[in-house]
Structure 1
């Protein structure tokens, strides 16, 4: 074993003596030459005191928490604590390789989440039925989850590169299979009409109308204020979204920059909002001193903001009354987009209405020609050529 040492630039800006090791004098001299060349160019040596766990926790608290939305921080923290730290946490940050990341992801793909996270063990003894009893249920992670774990790790390592703790992001060298998104056409016209009929007598009828006609997300609907509605211009502006994060309700900026948008109010939407305002005034009168003037358009019976989870429970009776088995609330947003596309509205206009970040989202996730549309298109070609 050969040993050499040189004074080189460190990530914290100091100059320290860094030893290198090799099986021959030639190997050691090469390493020393590279270290000194990088140092002369202002490139610091890799940090040796960081593990993946230590850095990724630092990244979460000092970078993600300060620059991302609270819900994003919460989601990243779950992925880090449940998958990345247990799988790669003990690895030295400067020694992490693409092979390590690839092996970690392959092992994750083949590991039952129920066994790994102890889901069955958390159930009462009488309710346990699989992994806690030695009968693995083989609840393997989805492609989407594997992709998310890889994306979070890649983002963290990129921050390590910017912090000059490592020289390259090894996660970018590993490819993962992209999930296949099912084409979601939302409700048919008949189903949408049935839903509006079933919801007509509900106190949140206007919320269903806005979701169906304007494609607003759940958080955007619950974060809507009366001050966001301009009666003179007949417009509605999406400025914020309501989320439950960190044990409390928070108003945050919309999902993307394009999500902050102004939409015209007309027809059924305008009528539904006028009726809803009268209904809210009546509820304010009934509540009396218990009323909380939150300023939200959609509130509880005493004026407080509606919990996102409670809206999901409120949706179920309306869904069943309309005969829409298995349709989630977000399906109303899908319906708005797909019906607009079916009517021949240009995709860039649909994108502006829905607030998608890119037109590729509008076309890839939502645009899908039905068999009838395909038949009509080929019929026109047949007639044209004939």
Structure 2
């Protein structure tokens, strides 16, 4: 049939299509199926549920049976006809909403659990909504742990899983998320390495006066995406732990029956292997700008070179304390004079200064194991005595402006040090000393590794670091310990051959006048 313009006229025939029937029944090879469930009860409530576009009659019959079973859950709540009828209406509304959203039928056990526990039937609680509720209720967490959880929820969990209904979260969802994160991490690492290589080429070209090569390297650097910290395997392991904790709470509230995060396989969660800055690795870093491992440790000679440079800075005692005792940054910044016994050559850290964004908070230590007594070497005792003398002089200069914080390490008006500024100053001093880069936390690693290499018992080192057990210490530092033994053997051989000059240990000065990067609290 054609219209006045000569074009075919197309219209739907619907149930009048002659191909829908065959003989005295329906043609199973043409059209789609639908079903309608219509229920009216004694309370006068009517429930209608109908779906279409089903491929076969068998599929339509299966869907009808599933709908009837879901609506039958309402009969389990009691004998009140009005309550049963009202609940049946709510279940029907949920069925229609899920179908419209393309989610299929609600799962029977999840719906039954919601009905019997009094949870909302017509609303979908998504993973994102639950994570937000769960995090808001974790009031007992330390500031740093809460901040880490919030970052994980915001950066990874909600973007990947936030829209999934909580009761429909499956292992496949979690596995897909970690596969995607691993892919993003690999891409970020490749890009970061390319940026470092381009930057190293740019600096080398500038140093030799090759402007053509310098411009080429500069353009290459500008064309690459910005630097992004990758989500390493250890971070993904902690991310899975956070999700597992959130889903355990959901299980406790009967919102889900299975903790799918506990079933997801994401591989090893080991931290990156710590490596020592050997001469070969230093040369590689100088040529490429890339660190062989995210966790690097200085040799004893490199640590002494850093302390030689830091000795002229007023935070020298802090860096010496970390290098010799392995205190965490927050523990060093939060150390109080009441926690120090110079006569007994002992400190007992009890507080820490940690960051929450840029804000600095004074909190209890990380764990019970962190509350320990740490012995001090004579050199550290002398440095702390000099620090006390410097602080007394600073108190007299500041007069009424002095803040009586009771902290060992302060600004020139007595306020506590900002941990980020301590880290920034550490990096600057390391650069000025011409040393390969490490994190301030790696100075703690170095203290432990050098102690083990010197033959200190593993249990003693574990206690010094505030670890809950020797297994943690062994897992982190065994590889570095072995490397340091080989480095020490090479140093001895070099000394015998006359190729190595000993580096004198730094002398402790009673007063340091160099200024830090910043001295505000």
User: Do both share a fold (TM > 0.5)?
Assistant: yes
How far apart in 2 are the matches of 1:106 and 1:330?
A: 29
Partners of 1:114 and 1:262 lie apart in 2 by 44
8 A contact 1:114–1:137 mirrored in 2: no
Deviations 1:62-121 (A, max 9, x none): 12xx12111211221122122211221111111111112112222333347999xxxxxx
Q: Label 1:113 to 1:70 Cα distance change in 2 as closer, same or farther (>3 A).
A: farther
In the alignment, the residues of structure 1 paired with residue 262 and residue 390 of structure 2 have an alpha-carbon distance, to the nearest angstrom, of 54
Alignment deviations for residues 130-152 of structure 1 (CA, whole Å, 9 cap, x no partner) = 9x99x767966433343333222
Is 2:178 aligned against 1:105? yes
Instruction: Write the distance in 1 (CA, Å) between the matches of 2:487 and 2:310.
Output: 33
Asked whether 1:367 is paired with 2:457, we answer: no
Number of aligned residue pairs: 342
CA RMSD of aligned residues (A): 3.4
- Residue of 171, 194, 218 corresponding to 2:261: 171
Shift of the 67–281 alpha-carbon distance from structure 1 to 2, 3 Å rule, reads: same
Shift of 1:175: 1.0
Describe how 1:1-386 pairs up with structure 2 within 5 A: 1-2=64-65, 3-4=68-69, 5-6=72-73, 49-63=124-138, 66-111=139-184, 141-178=231-268, 179=270, 181-185=272-276, 186-245=297-356, 247-368=358-479, 369-370=482-483, 373=486
Whole-angstrom CA distance in 2 between matches of 1:207 and 1:8: 68
Shift of 1:317: 3.3
* Compared CA separation, residues 246 and 329, structure 1 to 2 (3 A): closer
| Distance (whole Å) between structure 2 residues aligned to residue 297 and residue 250 of structure 1 | 16
Where 1:67 maps in the other structure, the secondary structure is: coil
Cα gap change, 1:177 to 1:303, in 2 (>3 Å): same
CA distance in 1, matches of 2:111, 2:133: 27
With over 3 angstroms needed to count, the CA separation of the structure-2 counterparts of 1:58 and 1:69, relative to structure 1, is: same
Structure number with bigger Rg = 2
CA contact (8 A) 1:300 1:306 kept: yes
Secondary structure, aligned partner of 2:414: coil
Give the distance between the partners of 1:60 and 1:260, measured in 2 at CA: 27
Q: Deviations over 1:168-192 (max 9, x none)?
A: 1011111112245212442222222
For 2:345 and 2:225, the matched residues in 1 are separated by 58
Q: Structure 1 residue 269: deviation in Å?
A: 1.4
Indicate the SS of the match to 1:320: helix
- Post-superposition offset of 1:47: 7.3
Query: Structure 2 vs 1, CA of residues 102 and 229 (structure 1 numbering), >3 Å: closer, same or farther?
Result: same
How many angstroms apart in 2 are the aligned matches of 1:219 and 1:361? 20
Inter-CA distance 148–206: structure 2 relative to 1 (3 Å threshold): same
> Which is bigger in relative contact order (C-alpha 8 A, separation at least 6)?
1
- Give secondary structure in 2 for the equivalent of 1:224: coil
In terms of mean alpha carbon deviation, does 237-246 or 363-372 score higher? 363-372
Tell me the equivalent position of 1:382: none
Distance 1:361 1:112 in 2: 26
Distance 1:371 1:307, change over 3 A: closer
CA distance in 1, matches of 2:226, 2:411: 41
Aligned partner of residue 330 in structure 1, secondary structure: helix
Alignment check: 8 A CA contact 2:345 2:376 kept? yes
What SS does the corresponding residue of 2:355 show, helix, strand or coil? Answer: strand
Using the TM superposition, name which of 216-225 and 175-184 deviates more: 175-184
> What is the CA–CA distance in structure 2 between the aligned matches of 1:372 and 1:269, rounded to whole Å?
25
Displacement of 1:247 after TM fit? 4.7
Ranges in structure 2 where 5+ consecutive residues have no aligned partner: 1-63, 78-82, 96-107, 189-218, 277-296, 490-521
Distance 1:260 1:35, change over 3 A: same
Seen in structure 2, the aligned counterparts of structure 1 residues 103 and 193 have a Cα distance that, compared at 3 Å, is closer
Gaps of at least 5 residues in structure 1 are 10-14, 22-30, 116-128, 377-386
